[in-house]
Structure 1
Amino acid sequence: MAFKEGLRARKKTLWRLILLALGLLGLLLYGLPVVRHLEVLIPMGFCPSATMSQLGDNFTGVLHPWARPEVLTCTSWGAPIIWDGTFDPDVAQQAAGERNLTIGLTVFAVGRYLEKYLARFLETAEQHFMVGQRVLYYVFTERPTAMPRLALGPGRRLHVQRVVREQRWQDVSMARMSTLRAALAGRLGREAHFVLCMDVDQHFSGAFGPEALAESVAQLHAWHYHWPRRLLPFERDARSAAALAPGQGDFYYHATLGSVAALRRLTTHCARGLRQYCARGLEARWHDESHLNKFFWLHKPAKVLSPEFCWSPDIGPRAEIRRPRLLWARKEYALLRT
C-alpha cells in the first residue's frame, strides 16, 4: 500500500512538473516579457577547440572566438558566428579596401513603410554602414517620387527601382525574392560585388562593417537564437517546398547577404519554391523567410552573424548582446499593413 501511494505521489509530482514546463513554454512562445528572460538559461552549445583555432576568412583574418566563451562562436560545419570581440574591425576594413569593393544594400519601402521608416534607415546607414567603402543603396518602392532627400557621402550612390504594389502584405513579402532575382540579373548584379538584403523597419546603431561579408552569410534571428531546434518556427507542412522535417534545420535565420553569384542561387531557389507553393493555393508559415531557411539547410552559409548584427529592443537588454549594430523598430502592423 505504501509503495502504491508513493508511486501515485511521484506520478502526481511528475505531472505537475510537466504542466509547469508546458505553461512556461506557452508563456515563452506567446510573449510574456518576464518569461522570455529565461531564454538565457538555455545553453547555446560550445565550439570545439580544434574548430576555434581554424576560424577566419578573407575579411576578418584569424578570428578570436575564445574572447566570447559565453556564446556559440562556430557552427557544426565549421563556419564562424561573428560576435563583437571575435574580430579586429581594422583588419576587416583594410581587407575590404584592398579589394576595391562596391557593396549593395537593398531595401523594400512600399505603402506606409516608406514614410514611416525609410528616411531613418538611410540616414543611419550613412553614419554606420560600411563606412569607408563604396556603397550602392538599392530601394524598391511603388512611389519613387516620395523618396526622402538624402545627402550621400563620397563613393555612395542611391538607385530607386519602381515595383508594383501588391494588394496584401503577404504578397509583398513573397514577391521580394523574384524582384531581387531580377535586380541581381541587371544593374545591381553588374555594379555590386556583395549585396545585403535588409528590412526597412530597422535602423543602424553601430558600426556595420566588412567583417559581415563572405560568399554566403545568414543572419541569426534575435527572437530564436537560444531556442532548441525542435522549437524553431520552420515550415513543417510537408506539401510546401519550404518544409523541413523534424530534426532538420540548424538555426533560424531571417536575413541574408553574400556575393552576387550566391544571392542569385538563393533568390532563384526561393522564388521557385514560392511559385510552386502559391500555385497550390498555399502559403508558407513565414513566407519568403521559410524558403530562406530551407535554402540554408540545404546550402550551409560560409558565415553566420550573431544577433548583435540585428537586434530587437523589445527583447530587452542581455549581457551577451554587447554592441548592437542594427535595431528593429517597434512593430505597428495594425497601422502599416492596412
Structure 2
Amino acid sequence: MAVKEGLRAWKRIFWWLILLTVGFSGLLLYGVPTVRHLEVFIPMGTCPLARMSLLRDNFTDLHLWARPEVLTCTSWGAPIIWDGTFDPDVAQQEAKQQNLTIGLTVFAVGRYLEKYLARFLESAEQYFMVGQRVVYYVFTERPDAVPRPPLGPGRQLRVERVLRERRWQDVSMARMRTLHAALAGRLGREAHFVFCMDVDQHFSGAFGPETLADSVAQMHAWHYHWPRRLLPYERDARSAAALAPDEGDFYYHAALFGGKVEALRRLTAHCTRGQQQDRLRGLEARWHDESHLNKYFWLHKPAKVLSPEFCWSPEIGPRAEIRHPRLLWAPKEYAVVRG
C-alpha cells in the first residue's frame, strides 16, 4: 500500500511539472512581458577557448573572448558577431582594399512604402557600410512614389518594379523568387555582397563590413534565449520547410540575411523550390519564407551569424548583453499596412 501511495505521489508531481512547463512555455510563446524578462536566465552557452583561437575572419580581427557572457561561436566553427568582438577599422580598410560594391535590397509594397521606406533609406545613408560603394535596390509596384534621399559618393539607388500580390503573405513569399531573378541580373553583376532586409525597421548604429561573409544569418531577437524545442520552426512534416524536434541550430530572422551573390542564389533557389512544393501540396509554411530560410540554414550552415544586436526589437526592453543595436524594428502596425 505504501509503495502504491508513493507511486501516486510521484505521478502527481510528474504531471504538475509537465503542466507547469507547458504553462510557462505558453506564456513565453505568447509574449507576456513579465515572463519574457525571465528568459534572460536561460543560458546561451559559451564558446570554448580552444575553438575561439581557431576562428578566422576575412574582413576583421576577431576578439571573441571579449564577450564571455554570450555565445560567440557556433558548433560548426562560424563566429557570432557581437559588439566588442571585432575591429571596425580593420574591416573598413579590408573592404576598401578589396574594392567592393555592396548591395542592399528592400521590398516596399503597398502602404509599407509610405510608412517605412524614407526612414529606412535615410538611416541607411547614415549607418550602412559608410565609406563603401553601395547600391540600394528598392522593389515596389509604384516606382514613382519612391523617395530619393541625398546619397553619398559611390552610392546609388535603383528601383525595380514588382507586381502587387493579393495577400501580404504572397508578398513575403514572392520575395525569394524576385531576389533570385535579380541576383542573376544587374544586381548580381554590380554587387560582390548583398544584404536583404525588411523595410519596417531603421538603422540606429554602424553596420559595416564586419558583417560580410559568404553567407550571413541573423539570430532572431525574440528567440535567441529559447531552447531548441520551443523555437517556431515549421513542424508539419509534409512541408518542405519542416524541421524535426531534434533539428535546428538557432532561429534565424528573415528580416536580415546576406552573403556573396552565388551563395544567395543558392539560398533563394532553395526557398523558391520549397514554397512551390508546398503550394502544390496545398500547404503554407507557418512563417512563410522565414520557415524556408531556417530550413536552408539548417542544411547549409551560415559562414557568419549576427547577434540580436544587429536587428533588435525595442519592445523586448533593455538587455545587458545588447550594447549597441544596429537595426531597430519599427512598431508592428499590421492593421494599417496590411489592411
For the aligned pair, the TM-score class normalised by the smaller chain equals over 0.9
Tell me what 2:338 maps to. Answer: 337
Using the size of structure 1 for normalisation, the TM-score is: 0.97
What's the CA shift for 1:50?
1.2
Q: Distance in 1 between matches of 2:231 and 2:25?
A: 13
Give the letter for the 1:73 counterpart: T
Tell me what 2:228 maps to. Answer: 229
Tell me what 1:299 maps to. Answer: 300
What's the CA shift for 1:305?
0.4
Could you say what secondary structure the match of 1:311 adopts? coil
- Relative to structure 2, which stretch is displaced further, 196-205 or 48-57? 48-57
CA deviation map 1:144-192 (0-9, x unaligned): 1111131111111000000000000010011000000110011100000
Tell me what 2:200 maps to. Answer: 201
Q: Distance in 2 between matches of 1:17 and 1:178?
A: 46
Tell me what 1:28 maps to. Answer: 28
Tell me what 2:327 maps to. Answer: 326
Give the letter for the 2:327 counterpart: L
What's the CA shift for 1:248?
1.0
Q: How many residues align?
A: 337
Superposition CA RMSD, Å = 1.3
Note if contact 2:201-2:330 (Cα within 8 Å) is conserved in structure 1: yes
Q: Distance in 2 between matches of 1:39 and 1:18?
A: 18
What's the CA shift for 1:9?
4.5
What's the CA shift for 1:264?
0.6
Note if contact 2:25-2:230 (Cα within 8 Å) is conserved in structure 1: no
What's the CA shift for 1:110?
0.1
Q: Distance in 1 between matches of 2:323 and 2:305?
A: 17
CA deviation map 1:211-230 (0-9, x unaligned): 00001111111111111111
Q: Distance in 2 between matches of 1:93 and 1:310?
A: 21
CA deviation map 1:247-281 (0-9, x unaligned): 11111112310001110111111111111111222
Tell me what 1:272 maps to. Answer: 273
Tell me what 2:153 maps to. Answer: 154
What's the CA shift for 1:18?
3.0
What's the CA shift for 1:15?
3.4
Give the letter for the 1:225 counterpart: Y
Residues 21/239 of structure 1: CA separation in 2 closer, same or farther (3 Å cut): closer
Note if contact 2:219-2:252 (Cα within 8 Å) is conserved in structure 1: yes
Q: Distance in 2 between matches of 1:292 and 1:20?
A: 32
Q: Distance in 2 between matches of 1:314 and 1:82?
A: 22
Could you say what secondary structure the match of 2:262 adopts? helix
Give the letter for the 1:48 counterpart: P
- Relative to structure 2, which stretch is displaced further, 320-329 or 246-255? 246-255
Could you say what secondary structure the match of 1:56 adopts? coil
| Residues 5-154 of structure 1 mapped to structure 2, 5 A cutoff | 8-61=8-61, 63-154=62-153
Q: Distance in 2 between matches of 1:9 and 1:186?
A: 68
CA deviation map 1:279-317 (0-9, x unaligned): 222111111111111111111111000000000011111
Q: Distance in 1 between matches of 2:93 and 2:272?
A: 36
Give the letter for the 2:321 counterpart: E
What's the CA shift for 1:56?
2.3
Could you say what secondary structure the match of 1:90 adopts? helix
- Show structure 2 runs of 5+ residues with no match: none
Using the size of structure 2 for normalisation, the TM-score is: 0.96
What's the CA shift for 1:13?
4.0
- Relative to structure 2, which stretch is displaced further, 153-162 or 242-251? 242-251
What's the CA shift for 1:20?
2.4
Tell me what 1:243 maps to. Answer: 242
What's the CA shift for 1:16?
3.2
Tell me what 1:257 maps to. Answer: 258
Could you say what secondary structure the match of 2:120 adopts? helix
Tell me what 1:163 maps to. Answer: 162
Could you say what secondary structure the match of 2:134 adopts? strand
| Residues 172-211 of structure 1 mapped to structure 2, 5 A cutoff | 172-211=171-210
Note if contact 2:81-2:306 (Cα within 8 Å) is conserved in structure 1: yes
Could you say what secondary structure the match of 1:203 adopts? strand
Could you say what secondary structure the match of 2:248 adopts? coil
Give the letter for the 2:56 counterpart: G
Q: Distance in 2 between matches of 1:25 and 1:101?
A: 45
Note if contact 2:78-2:305 (Cα within 8 Å) is conserved in structure 1: yes
Give the letter for the 2:214 counterpart: E
Residues 21/157 of structure 1: CA separation in 2 closer, same or farther (3 Å cut): same
- Show structure 1 runs of 5+ residues with no match: none
Note if contact 2:240-2:292 (Cα within 8 Å) is conserved in structure 1: yes
The percentage of counterpart residues that share the same residue type is 81
